[in-house]
Amino acid sequence: MFIMVQQHEIGRLWRAMNRPDLAEDLRFRTNRDRVKNNQELREIIETWLQSFPDRDRALAELDAQRVPRAPVLKLEESMTMPHLRGCKTVRRIKHEVLGEFDIPGMPVKFSGWPDHTDVIASRLGGDTAAVLSEVLGLSATEIDELHRDKVLLTAIGDRETVAAS
């Protein structure tokens, strides 16, 4: 989880942790002190967090004291969050072979940027020749040799083949 408290909020964290003694601890009185003694503070907070049976109970305890916090989500968790779907940070796309599925979208939004842009991924190897010739200056013959030597991957029909290593 991510916990971020400012000087005026640190008392909330001490209350949530049931550690009023930390308010008087010279190592943690100011933000500068906490930064200087970050490792010790981190160990104290992590030990406290480990006393909970799960992340949600720790989050609830912090929430009860209005401590600014957020869970660090696994990809699978973030893909199901209604908020992330609502702000289009998770997008549903349609793929010609795989069908419809969700992908992470752009997490940062800009004014004037379209709400939805079509994202079309090339098939496996679909752009390889163009990239190798335009960026690396390889000739068509050199690219064909890489395919023949099974260095490059190529999509064949609806099945993708992988070169043996």
Residues 43, 47, 49, 51: what is their CA dihedral angle, to the nearest 10 degrees? Answer: 180
Task: Provide the pLDDT for residue 124.
Answer: 76
H or E stretch covering 11: helix 10-16
Burial class for 74, CB neighbours closer than 10 Å (0-12, 13-18, 19+): exposed
Beta bridge partners of 94: 100
Task: Provide the pLDDT for residue 133.
Answer: 94
Cα(59)–Cα(75) distance, integer angstroms: 19
- Is the CB of residue 16 less than 8 Å from the CB of residue 62? yes
Task: Provide the pLDDT for residue 12.
Answer: 97
Q: How many CA atoms lie within 13 A of 129 on its CB side?
A: 12
Kindly list the distances between the CA atom of residue 5 and the CA atoms of 29, 66, 88, in Å, as whole numbers in the listed order. 13, 10, 28
Task: Provide the pLDDT for residue 156.
Answer: 58
Task: Provide the pLDDT for residue 159.
Answer: 42
Task: Provide the pLDDT for residue 153.
Answer: 76
* Two structure tokens written together for 61: 């305890």
Cα(104)–Cα(161) distance, integer angstroms: 26
For the chain, which residues score pLDDT lower than 50? 158-165
